[in-house]
Structure 1
Amino acid sequence: MSARNSNEELARTYGTPLYVYDLSRVRAARRDLFRWLPEGVEVYYAFKANPHPDLVRALREGPGPGCRAEISSTGELATALEAGHTGEEILYTGPGKTPGELREAVRGGLRRFSAESLSDLEHIGAAAVAEGVVVDCLLRINSATASAASGVRMTGKASQFGIDSETVGDVAAALRNVPGTSVAGLHLFSQSNAADEEALIGEFRHTIETATRLQEELRVPLRMLDIGGGFTAPYGRVGDRAAYPKLAGELSAELDLRLPGWREGRPRIAVESGRYLVGDSGTLVTSVSNVKESRGRKFVILDGGINVFGGMSGLGRLLPVSVQVDTGEPTEQASLVGPLCTPGDVLGRDVTVPALAPGDLVQIPNTGAYGPSASLQSFLGRPSPVEVVIDDDGSGDGSKVVVSVSRIERSRTYTERGAAA
């Protein structure tokens, strides 16, 4: 049975909008990424891309090296623990860690955090002291310069992320002496979705050079260096994940030059990835609710829009959303829009599509990342999408079996007017 027919059968069984995630694609992406990297480099999976526990397990478990967990909330922490991660496999990042969240994380066994500022480090230390432990912290650095101008820039401007590289020396002594913390290394994440392999390599080289310079300036032992990511994969469009055949050799050479003990784990080297690892595992299946024309333009109205996919486009990170369909032979142009009462509910303007009619299915490829958990699910109270996880059935002929079926539940409790507090 073809993948397309499989998805159509699943849509008939579970309805739409429907996400289908293929675990064999998740494992393939994990194998590829480790193959492109030098041996011994650790990979942290960014849960924000897709926190589905089945995908997290597939990335963590063998055969071969597995991914560690990079989280930014106690909700993601719960998922990580449910999927089998231990505290030592988890890195807690993000600029908005609250005292309660930090206490919960430390109680849950986490011993590695990324600190975005001196005050953030102090908050982490306070939680550790309250629990009677000392935690390792990476200082996240907002580098003043960058190598490549491609991709989504994460440094070089005023930001809630990271300590400005040009001023970090001014607070070096304070950073080294926060009770409850031990500065274990540095965390630099300069870009997302690099344009090509040369841009990615150039950025990693710049990151490693910056880290070695800051290590001397801060006078801290560099036990771990997280050099971020930038690995590229298509989002909602036909295409393949990028290949990086030169990366292992170029990155190894730069590390040998700047940090000659890295092959023995001095320091441990880590990268982060989200979309690259899970993006091509997912297909979004929607149904056509209506087709209309307005002033010479055709609009195909789907039962799922930015409430199930592309909600993060409003943040600018993934703008613009412009999907491509993997359904039939394209014959005309139409705008694919969702069911929400806002003109912003657009998945693609003037997209080339086959002739579509109410009841037809539209399949959007490469939607395994930044799907339901990154969308406007509560807006207008539309039904959440069903998420179906499939995997090879072991026959060797490409047939699939359903592993799990779930739906993100939305809940809201209203307090009656005049009710006792």
Structure 2
Amino acid sequence: MSSLAELFGRPDAPPTPAYLYDLDELARSHAALRAALPRAAELFYSLKANPHPAVLAALATAGCQAEVCSPGELRAALAAGYAPAAMLYTGPGKRDVDVDEAVRAGVRLFSIDSPYGLDQLDRIAAEYGTEVRALVRINDDTPSPGQGLTMTGVASQFGADVWWVLDRPELFGPRRHVRPVGFHLYTGSNLTGEDALMAQFNQSVATVRRLAAATGVEPELLDLGGGFGAPFARAGARPEYPKLADRLVRLLDDAFPGWPESGPAVAFESGRHLVGTCGTLVTRVLDVKRSQGSTVVVLESGIHHLGGMSGLRRLPPIVPDVVALAGPAGPARPGTIVAGPLCTPLDTWARSATLVELTPGQLVAVPNVGAYGLYASLVAFLAHPMPVEVTVTGGRVTGMTRLELTRHSTNGSVRG
């Protein structure tokens, strides 16, 4: 945090609140995950974690492909230089207008959750006289242990249940303009240990073998999802997976003898592990007071800048580490309420945090918020100013932008 204190102590320091994205750390994260996967495997970046243009461009340059699930993410990926034909378009429900835009832009690989999704894709591809490929997303029989967020093994909008595909394989077969080429399985997220990751990958590969045996169709492409963990809003390093690549090669070679020279192409996805540790939120203390025997610290950032989606259970409830960048460094004391400036009692990061004594105007920072930070928050609620987003390379500011919300349109031109 000393480098942040120095950066924000300069006369030309960025305004606050500010999300800082360290592109050097981003490069290290990508290199580490790439080394933890088999060389032959493809790696998709899940834009939902952080679609900032500089983050996208850096990962595109490093060799990631894009996994998108909305028209906005598609446009962001295209603007950052990702090739549409190499993208994967996912999502449990897609509007006709969004599928149309993707096919028109050149996207040719979609993850589909139902026979209706295949029919929809076939109808739209036919309008352009083109063929597209589909991965059938599978909702496996049981969840894997150790998941941070369960994505399979329960009633879900994600994927087709295994029994459904086994019982009615013809429903998931080719259409005139759609060629199913394999399966997409994403069973859980935010796994920090190799054993937990391998448990879900073992289960997914076994399920694919069951499906192939029942249908007689060997997959050309297998997307095993991800689940690679990272700390969120707390101090700490991203987890390492030193033996994962070798374990995956053995798993895939057992399931598909001769892999990777024979058998399906294999892909993985990551959002939080790639970008989580590259982001820091820097914000100021607005007020400090005593209330009912507790110290209350009010920051200029709250759930509108960080953690708003924890209330929707997309993220776990957060108690961020709040680190003073400068000022008196007295002993840390428990029992501090950390709140934001919104006019709701829900705007609270912590009810009993252990903090040093803070004063109005002081700068504080929250680490490891590069994933699901600003872009998973309640930015429209109460219309407070958006944070600036600052990219840093080699300790120097290389870019600064501010995301602006679109104002209401009154010209009758709203579409879709």
Q: CA 1:11/1:61 → structure 2, altered by over 3 Å: closer, same or farther?
A: farther
Contact in 2 for aligned 1:43/1:271 (Cα 8 Å): yes
Map residues 16-415 of structure 1 onto 2, 5 A cutoff.
16-62=16-62, 66-264=63-261, 266-327=263-324, 329=329, 331-333=332-334, 334-392=336-394, 400-413=395-408, 415=410
Aligned-pair CA distance for 1:7: 4.1
Q: Does the CA contact (< 8 Å) of 1:283 and 1:363 recur in 2?
A: yes
Q: CA deviation at 1:262?
A: 3.0
Native 8 Å contact 2:256 2:262 kept in 1: no
Residues 10 and 263 (structure 1), Cα distance of their counterparts in 2 relative to 1, 3 Å cut? farther
Per-residue deviation, 1:169: 2.1
Deviation at 1:336, TM superposition (A): 1.5
TM superposition shift of 1:164:
0.6
**1:3 correspondence with 2:11:** no
Q: Is the partner of 2:182 in helix, strand or coil?
A: strand
Between 182-191 and 285-294, the greater mean CA deviation after superposition: 285-294
The whole-number CA distance in structure 2 between the counterparts of 1:194 and 1:153 is: 11
Check the 8 A contact 2:192/2:239 in 1, yes or no. no
| Greater alpha carbon shift after TM alignment, 330-339 vs 150-159 | 330-339
Unpaired stretches in structure 2, ≥5 consecutive residues = 412-416
- Comparing 280-289 and 190-199, the one that deviates more: 190-199
CA contact (8 A) 1:332 1:353 kept: yes
**Which segments of 5 or more consecutive residues in structure 1 lack a partner in the other structure?**
393-399, 417-421
Report the residue type matching 1:5 in the other structure: A
Name whichever of 134-143 and 168-177 sits farther off: 168-177
- Answer whether contact 1:7 1:285 (CA < 8 A) is retained: no
Deviation readout 1:240-262 (Å, 9 max, x if unpaired) = 00011121111111101001243
Q: Number of matched residues?
A: 406
Contact 2:111 2:137 in 1 (8 A): yes
Instruction: Report Cα offsets for 1:394-418 as digits up to 9, x if no partner.
Output: xxxxxx22221111101222659xx
In 1, the alpha carbon distance for the partners of 2:9 and 2:205 equals: 49
1:254–1:324 Cα change, 3 Å? same
Deviations 1:254-285 (A, max 9, x none): 10100124312631111111010001101100
CA contact (8 A) 2:7 2:13 kept: no
Of residues 105-114 and 287-296 in structure 1, the stretch that sits farther from structure 2 once superposed is: 287-296
- For residue 11 of structure 1, report the CA deviation from its aligned partner: 9.5
Percent identical residues: 43
CA distance in 1, matches of 2:181, 2:318: 39
RMSD: 1.8
Aligned partner of residue 296 in structure 2, secondary structure: strand
Letter in 1 for 2:333: E
Q: What is the letter of the counterpart of residue 104 of structure 2?
A: R
**One-letter amino acid of the counterpart of residue 350, structure 2:** G
CA displacement at 1:74 relative to structure 2: 1.0
1:163-194 CA distances to partner (integer Å, 9 max, x unpaired)?
01111123311221323210011000000011
Aligned-partner Cα distance in 1 for 2:7–2:86: 34
Q: 1:374 to 1:259 in 2, by over 3 A?
A: same
Query: What is the deviation of 1:158?
Result: 0.6
Secondary structure of 1:80's counterpart equals helix
Q: Residues of 1 paired with 2:361 and 2:288: CA distance?
A: 10
The Cα of 1:4 is off from its aligned counterpart by 2.1
User: SS in structure 1 opposite 2:98?
Assistant: helix
Shift of 1:116: 1.1
Looking at structure 2, the residues matched to 152 and 250 of structure 1 have their Cα atoms a distance apart, in angstroms, of 23
Q: Is the 8 A contact 2:86 2:108 kept in 1?
A: no
Contact 1:283 1:365 in 2 (8 A): yes
Q: Which range moved further: 406-415 or 149-158? A: 406-415
CA contact (8 A) 2:137 2:158 kept: yes
Identify if the C-alpha distance between structure 1 residues 337 and 53 changes in structure 2 by more than 3 Å, giving closer, same or farther: same
Deviates more, 1:67-76 or 1:215-224: 215-224
In structure 2, distance between residues paired with 1:178 and 1:152: 33
